[in-house]
Structure 1
Amino acid sequence: MPTTSRPRLNTSFHIHMVSDSTGETLMEVMRASVAQFEHTNPLEHLYALVRSPRQLDRVLEEIEGYPGVVMYTIVNSELRRDLETRCADLGVPAIAILDPMLATLSTYLGRAMASRAGAQRALDADYYHRMDALNFAMAHDDGQGDNFENADIILLGVSRTSKTPTSIYLAHRGYRAANIPLVRGVPAPEFLFSLRNPLIVGLTASPERIVQIRRNRLLTLNEDRSTDYIDDFAVRDEIVEAKRLYAKHGWPNIDVTRRSVEETAAKIINMLNEKRGRK
């Protein structure tokens, strides 16, 4: 009797990259490593410029909420110890990807390393441009900050449409990206309607996907009460309201349900280039 092979399913897992610099080294090593394993789908979490205990605490909250593999490049000994200790307590593996290379070079050269955060990045114009974009993204996360006219890109969307990770990824590519949450029943900020320079893009996703992500988020916070935040009909109304806003003002929108952050960012960059080309 002939046998039928079962289709291989993609293995999804969270991978957290914690860096005191831009995180590009981590991203490159992670992707080169994951590429060696077929049928894997890494859910990427990148934390750049982590240089204070407060920043690390926010990272650790995310790691606790979405356990997985942790990769890091941090030279500050206290931050390293705190990260390693907490990861051990949580039972998640933490990999210092540069340690073997640095230890070997130190022995061979007969000298200690400089222990400077981000020392591997040349301080050229491109570096400073990306640092400026990262600082802008972090200062304009979740509707914070001002001077939105100076943004290259503004992302809109209801909660859990990947606004922040997409903004950070765009910043790593050198684009000044801001993101603003849309809340059901609350008008969008008036200043949006008078902006001329930024490309405004709406992010959306299927109601089922949004509800799933929100439920998981609440579970990590030990919150199990039923609210409109995870009500199927309420979420559907949120998304419809957001789409109407995008259509009313002619803002392009992207469904991120089945897109990675990289795919979403690539589409946005193409949109921005088209906008600038028309100008």
Structure 2
Amino acid sequence: MRISTFLNVHLVSDSTGETLNAVLRAVAPLFEGVTPLEHSYYLVRSRRQLDRVLAEIESFPGVVLFTIAAHDLRDVLVDHCKRLGIPALPLLDQVLTMWEHHLKMRAGEKTGSKQALDENYFRRIDALNYTMAHDDGQMVHEFNQAEVVLVGVSRTSKTPTSIYLANRGIRTGNFPLVPKAPIPQALLELNKPLVVGLRVSPDRLIAIRRNRLLSLNADATSEYVDEDAVREEITDANRLFERQNWPVIDVTRRSIEETSAAILNLLADRNAK
């Protein structure tokens, strides 16, 4: 059995730290046997706040990732880490430098949390409101107001994928395919949104459903997890996707982010036509 290596990772941000967290989530799984010990410091905008961060870094040496716009605070953080022999990486610097060179202008020091209430912000709020109201087959008659509609059997990640897309400003509805339940004509006649079928392998779906039933202390021998019934359910779904000529994404080994990225690519291709 391999012993885990622990690594202190200090995430220092003058905003909400979402960028730092996303990078940590992407990088950490690539190092087998390494367990990151996350130390997060958000909304760091004063020297007093930074001093507390520096004391913590000194107490728990490791690596430092930071997104701080104010040059005076950045300099203090970098100098302190250099004296301690601790690597400190300004996560956005290379991106900012590339933009500055290309645009021939300097980046400002506005922090990420000072988000303008612009059109994109209201678009995301609208998309989230729409998506929550049209989850799990609710109000199918309004699906033509969506940009994307996801269709699939139970436990194919329709809801979390819909919410992820909504956070990107995409109005998303989703519809569950239930064995022997009629499919609304309104769904079959959609012509405005991109309708995407979500497909999954029978073995994977059975495993997911069994875990779900176990978590609910429910009967794990029902048709919901019967192998023949599940295979028939998936076959019927695939036939529907083919009849309707809907694009299909196999979510068997895809994360929510990967599925959403594939959908966004389909949407971009469709809008470009």
In the superposition, the TM-score normalised over structure 1's length comes to 0.62
Q: 1:131 is matched by which residue type in structure 2?
A: I
Question: 1:67-82 residue pairs with structure 2 within 5 A?
Answer: none
Q: 2:262 is matched by which residue type in structure 1?
A: K
Q: Which residue number in structure 2 is paired with residue 124 of structure 1? A: 118
Query: What is the CA deviation profile of residues 94-129 of structure 1, one whole-angstrom value per residue up to 9, with x for unaligned ones?
Result: x995xx4358759669xxxxxxxxx75331111011
Q: Are 1:39 and 2:39 an aligned pair?
A: no
Query: What is the CA deviation profile of residues 149-203 of structure 1, one whole-angstrom value per residue up to 9, with x for unaligned ones?
Result: 1100100000011111111111111111110000011122110122211011100
Secondary structure in 2 aligned to 1:229?
Answer: coil
Query: What is the CA deviation profile of residues 51-109 of structure 1, one whole-angstrom value per residue up to 9, with x for unaligned ones?
Result: xxxxxxxxxxxxxxxxxxxxxxxxxxxxxxxxxxxxxxxxxx9x995xx4358759669
Secondary structure in 1 aligned to 2:42?
Answer: helix
Once residues 202 and 134 of structure 2 are traced to their aligned partners in structure 1, the CA distance between those partners, rounded to angstroms, is 26
Flag the 1:29–1:139 CA change in 2: closer, same or farther, 3 A: farther
Secondary structure in 1 aligned to 2:224?
Answer: helix
Q: 1:37 is matched by which residue type in structure 2?
A: A
Q: Are 1:185 and 2:176 an aligned pair?
A: no
Flag the 1:33–1:242 CA change in 2: closer, same or farther, 3 A: same
Q: Which residue number in structure 1 is paired with residue 234 of structure 2? A: 239
Task: Judge conservation of contact 1:201–1:253 (CA < 8 Å) in 2.
Answer: yes
Query: 1:272 pairs with 262, 267, 270, which one?
Result: 267
Once residues 27 and 144 of structure 1 are traced to their aligned partners in structure 2, the CA distance between those partners, rounded to angstroms, is 31
Question: 1:248-267 residue pairs with structure 2 within 5 A?
Answer: 248-267=243-262
Q: Aligned-pair distance for 1:36?
A: 4.0
Q: Which residue number in structure 2 is paired with residue 115 of structure 1? A: none
Once residues 33 and 223 of structure 1 are traced to their aligned partners in structure 2, the CA distance between those partners, rounded to angstroms, is 36
Q: 2:154 is matched by which residue type in structure 1?
A: S
Query: 2:161 pairs with 161, 166, 171, which one?
Result: 166
Q: 1:191 is matched by which residue type in structure 2?
A: A
In the superposition, the TM-score normalised over structure 2's length comes to 0.64
Q: Which residue number in structure 2 is paired with residue 218 of structure 1? A: 213
Flag the 1:217–1:105 CA change in 2: closer, same or farther, 3 A: farther
Flag the 1:122–1:227 CA change in 2: closer, same or farther, 3 A: same
- Say which one has the larger Rg: 2
Flag the 1:208–1:108 CA change in 2: closer, same or farther, 3 A: closer
Q: Are 1:133 and 2:127 an aligned pair?
A: yes
Once residues 181 and 31 of structure 2 are traced to their aligned partners in structure 1, the CA distance between those partners, rounded to angstroms, is 39
Task: Judge conservation of contact 2:162–2:172 (CA < 8 Å) in 1.
Answer: yes
Flag the 1:209–1:26 CA change in 2: closer, same or farther, 3 A: farther
Once residues 136 and 106 of structure 1 are traced to their aligned partners in structure 2, the CA distance between those partners, rounded to angstroms, is 42
**Structure 1 unmatched ranges of 5 or more:** 1-5, 9-23, 42-92, 110-118
Question: How many residues matched?
Answer: 196
Flag the 1:108–1:31 CA change in 2: closer, same or farther, 3 A: closer
Flag the 1:228–1:27 CA change in 2: closer, same or farther, 3 A: farther
Secondary structure in 2 aligned to 1:228?
Answer: coil
Q: Aligned-pair distance for 1:224?
A: 3.4
Flag the 1:29–1:222 CA change in 2: closer, same or farther, 3 A: farther
Q: Give the percent of matched residue pairs that are identical in Structure 1 and Structure 2.
A: 48
Q: Which residue number in structure 1 is paired with residue 138 of structure 2? A: 144
Task: Judge conservation of contact 1:34–1:40 (CA < 8 Å) in 2.
Answer: no
Once residues 151 and 271 of structure 1 are traced to their aligned partners in structure 2, the CA distance between those partners, rounded to angstroms, is 15
Question: 1:46-61 residue pairs with structure 2 within 5 A?
Answer: none
CA RMSD of aligned residues (A): 3.1
**Structure 2 unmatched ranges of 5 or more:** 3-14, 51-112
